[in-house]
Amino acid sequence: MVQKNGGGWKVGFIVNPIAGMGGRVGLKGTDGEAVLRRAIELGARPVAWRRGLRFLRKLKKLLNHDGEILFLTVSGKMGERLLQKTFFGNYRVVLKAPRKTTACDTKNACRLFLEKKVDIIVFVGGDGTARDVLTVVGQRVPVLGVPSGVKVYSSVFGVSPEASARLLVLYLRGKCILRLAEVVDVDEEAFRKGLLSVKVFGYMKVPYEPLYLQSSKNSIPLTSEEEENKDSIAKYVVENLIEKNVIYILGPGTTVETIAKRMNLKKTVLGVDVLLNGKLIARDVNEREILDILSRLRLPTKIIVSPLGREGFLFGRGNQQISPRVLRKVGLENIIVVATRIKLRETPVFFVDTGDKGVDRLFAQRKFVKVLVDYNEYTMVKVKSMA
């Protein structure tokens, strides 16, 4: 058990208010002021508040009493308001946040957390926030991320806000070990052009329980076997599953891209495109554009999607444009899941974390999803909600 600091554990708690805002509007991140302005213009709404709320509500249920933890936090939307909203009264504000927050505020808060000798720092954000924390904290104290970003590839995050709450309690009560976890980030400019350039920036100490902690983003090896498998999947989809006068929402990833290539179409590898009658009628769309197309055309619609890398997220990571509103409109029965055999060996279980508990529960109630793994070959894969 972590030694209690003056009768309670000291936990630094910080929220990046803009983390994840670029997801549903298709911007693949919110690093940089110009991108944030564009996200707001496109109708992006803050999501970190909801993710932080889920974390704190779950944490409250897991604790014996609120006084077990003394939170050190930042004023306003960078932490204090969420603690007030969830009736955590045992907190101290160590830094006043400006109206317009920046990465400097995150770094300054972390410096103060270290001065106050916190037991662990919990942050709500994405890979960019993790990099900011790493810059100040290094491996001096453990950290734990609550996933809220568009890009959540680092392995310092719980697989969901609720999982992060469970991890925190396990660690504070001495029921899990610490390990070094990667902080990685992608080049957002390259990402928006369809190129995935991932770089490891360093390592931080995190509570470790494999069920609750996210794996880092791993690329699937480009073997001839893997490429042949993708092509067989694509061949079957094109020959048997693509119908006339049906809209197809194509999720990101190379497996789905291979389907488009089979039709002599150039798909955005890391974006979401829309297919109708053999043509891409929209490329790199956001949530609003998808909904506008569905409302305007009023045609049967299906979604073709592949799980994200080693993490195994079917929805909620890297494809937030296919939002809960889109999923409800299309219907879970109209989702076609494709994955190669190598990918399934890496991701034997799929997760969903759309931010909408109702949608996530619908997936969880199904328990399994049907996955196309080769030409006319299917398997059933367990699916879990992280809510």
Per-range mean pLDDT, top range of 160-164, 218-222, 267-271: 160-164
What kind and span of H or E run contains 204? strand 198-208
Q: How far apart are CA 249 and CA 301, in angstroms?
A: 8
CATH architecture of 9-208: 3-Layer(aba) Sandwich (3.40)
pLDDT of residue 216: 62
Q: How far apart are CA 329 and CA 321, in angstroms?
A: 13
Does residue 190 have a pLDDT over 60? no
pLDDT category of residue 23 using cuts at 50, 70 and 90: very low
Q: What is the pLDDT of residues 55-79, one digit of tens each?
A: 999 999 999 876 789 999 999 999 9
What is the DSSP code (8-state) at residue 66?
G
Which residues are paired to 374 by β-bridges? 377
Q: What is the pLDDT of residues 115-125, one digit of tens each?
A: 999 999 999 99
pLDDT of residue 343: 86
Q: Phi then psi for 4, rounded to 5 degrees?
A: -70, 140
* Contact (CB, 8 A) for 150 and 174: no
Helix/strand/coil for 251: coil
**Side-chain-side CA neighbours of residue 63 (13 Å):** 18
Q: How far apart are CA 161 and CA 175, in angstroms?
A: 19
Does residue 6 have a pLDDT over 70? no
Q: What is the pLDDT of residues 175-189, one digit of tens each?
A: 999 999 999 876 555
- Contacting residues for 286 by C-beta, under 8 A, at least 6 apart: 24, 25, 26, 27, 42, 321
Which of these, 17, 20, 38, lies nearest to 29 by C-alpha position? 20
pLDDT of residue 67: 75
Q: How far apart are CA 349 and CA 85, in angstroms?
A: 34
pLDDT of residue 26: 43
Q: What is the pLDDT of residues 199-241, one digit of tens each?
A: 789 999 999 998 888 876 555 555 788 899 999 999 999 999 9
- Contacting residues for 104 by C-beta, under 8 A, at least 6 apart: none
For 73-109, b where at least 16 C-beta lie within 10 A, e where not — what string?
bbebbbbbbbbeebebeebebbbebeeebeeebbebb
Helix/strand/coil for 68: helix
Q: What is the pLDDT of residues 236-256, one digit of tens each?
A: 999 999 999 999 999 998 899
Which of these ranges, 14-23, 209-218, 374-383, has the smallest mean pLDDT? 14-23
* Contact (CB, 8 A) for 341 and 274: no
Higher local confidence (pLDDT), 47 or 53: 53
- Contacting residues for 179 by C-beta, under 8 A, at least 6 apart: 205, 206, 208
